[in-house]
Amino acid sequence: MYAQEVKSTGKGVLSLEEMDPVERAFQEKVNAGVKIEPKDWMPEGYRKTLIRQISQHAHSEIVGQLPEGNWITRAPTLERKAILIAKVQDEAGHGLYLYCAAETLGVSRDQMTEQLLSGKAKYSSIFNYPTLTWADIGAIGWLVDGAAIMNQVPLQRCSFGPYSRAMIRVCKEESFHQRQGYDIMMKLCAGTLDQKAMAQDALDRWWWPSLMMFGPSDAQSVHSAQSLAWKIKQDTNDELRQKFVDQTVPQAKYLGLSVPDPDLKWNEEKGGHDFGEVDWEEFFQVVSGNGPCNADRMAARRKAWSDGEWFRDALMAHAEKHSADKVAAE
């Protein structure tokens, strides 16, 4: 039975026998690892799930420019400033590839923007925390981009072609982002006592929000079972969170920093770390708009949209004039 072939809790997922023939053929294609392309038949739920996830992913890239953009004018050296500008520009590029991938599913960029600005569409919880010191830029690269890579590497194998191809390019750039963040942390940790304390403070503040990036626990995840069945996701939220902890703890040790979790310890039997419970109350508060920076982030995006109105109007006027000239010349 199909539901036994995937790592799903089975919540609401139909077995092959329960599907109608068209849907069954689609699922068999997915099971065989054939990519689904925009013009192929797909269940409406698959299309909607992808639009939701890809557009939220795109919004995260765009909103994610704000916390780091906050430090461009205050980067400690010209070199660090140039690197940070390049990184923030990369995030804009990621947003654009992802909006294009979502557009192939029949939603327009304007519709997606409207959903973000009206608060209907989510973006990653992590970008609702403030960047208080330069060490936060190191912590974001190291932890936030590190968590993003952990989540996005499997998305390169997503069943939907345009999303999977966008992820291949995004992942290459994210590796550079992660390394530049870790490089900042290494410099700070090899610096003065104050610099090392700044690095520890950043780790203390970004650790738990980074673990929240992987989404609610498997028991609370609404979409995981179906997304695993459709091979949109390859791993559950908890599986990726565990991998991230196991990868990151030795990196913190190398820096000489301590992870702010008294329950963290190596579990020989499972071959991974045990770690404390994420504060899910905080997660759901942030996701529902009540995090420390939600209002600021949304205000910045709304301002950018309204400031850009004259430019969008000018582009439209130019395009209309151009096509009228063309018609007149025919």
Q: Which residues bind ligand BYC (CB under 6 A)?
A: 52-53, 56-57, 60-61, 64, 91, 122, 124-125, 140, 144-145, 148, 151, 212-216, 221-224, 227, 237, 287
Identify any residues that bridge with 267 across adjacent strands, giving them in sequence order. Answer: 272
Q: Which is nearer to ligand BYC, 11 or 318 (CB)?
A: 11
Cα 270 from Cα 267, distance rounded (Å): 6
Q: Give me the sign of the Cα torsion angle 269, 270, 272, 278.
A: negative
Cα 262 from Cα 275, distance rounded (Å): 8
Nearest to 91 by CA among 50, 140, 128, 43: 140
CB atoms near residue 272 (< 10 Å): 14
**Nearest distance from C-beta of residue 227 to ligand BYC, angstroms:** 5
CB atoms near residue 178 (< 10 Å): 22
Q: Which is nearer to ligand BYC, 105 or 213 (CB)?
A: 213
**Nearest distance from C-beta of residue 155 to ligand BYC, angstroms:** 6
Q: Which is nearer to ligand BYC, 191 or 292 (CB)?
A: 292
Q: Which residue reads 């068209």 in tokens?
A: 22
Q: Which is nearer to ligand BYC, 144 or 184 (CB)?
A: 144
Task: Dump the DSSP string for 221-273.
Answer: -SSHHHHHHTTS-SS-HHHHHHHHHHHHHHHHHHHT---S-TT-EEETTTTEE
**Nearest distance from C-beta of residue 220 to ligand BYC, angstroms:** 7
Q: Which is nearer to ligand BYC, 162 or 215 (CB)?
A: 215
**Nearest distance from C-beta of residue 119 to ligand BYC, angstroms:** 11
**Nearest distance from C-beta of residue 317 to ligand BYC, angstroms:** 33
**Nearest distance from C-beta of residue 160 to ligand BYC, angstroms:** 12
Cα 84 from Cα 185, distance rounded (Å): 14
**Nearest distance from C-beta of residue 289 to ligand BYC, angstroms:** 11
Q: Which is nearer to ligand BYC, 141 or 196 (CB)?
A: 141
Query: 141: which DSSP letter?
Result: I
Q: Which is nearer to ligand BYC, 116 or 287 (CB)?
A: 287
Q: Are 149 and 171 in contact (CB under 8 A)?
A: yes
* Amino acid symbol at 317: A
Which tokens hold the place of 182?
A: 């870790």
Q: Which is nearer to ligand BYC, 196 or 294 (CB)?
A: 294
Reduced to 3 states (helix: H, G, I; strand: E, B; else coil), residue 32 is coil
**Nearest distance from C-beta of residue 130 to ligand BYC, angstroms:** 14
Which tokens hold the place of 238?
A: 């908890």
**Nearest distance from C-beta of residue 23 to ligand BYC, angstroms:** 20
Q: Are 136 and 206 in contact (CB under 8 A)?
A: yes
* Amino acid symbol at 79: E
Q: Which residue is nearest to ligand BYC (CB)?
A: 64
Which tokens hold the place of 289?
A: 């708009």
Q: Which is nearer to ligand BYC, 24 or 111 (CB)?
A: 111
The CA radius of gyration of the chain, in Å to the nearest whole number, is: 22
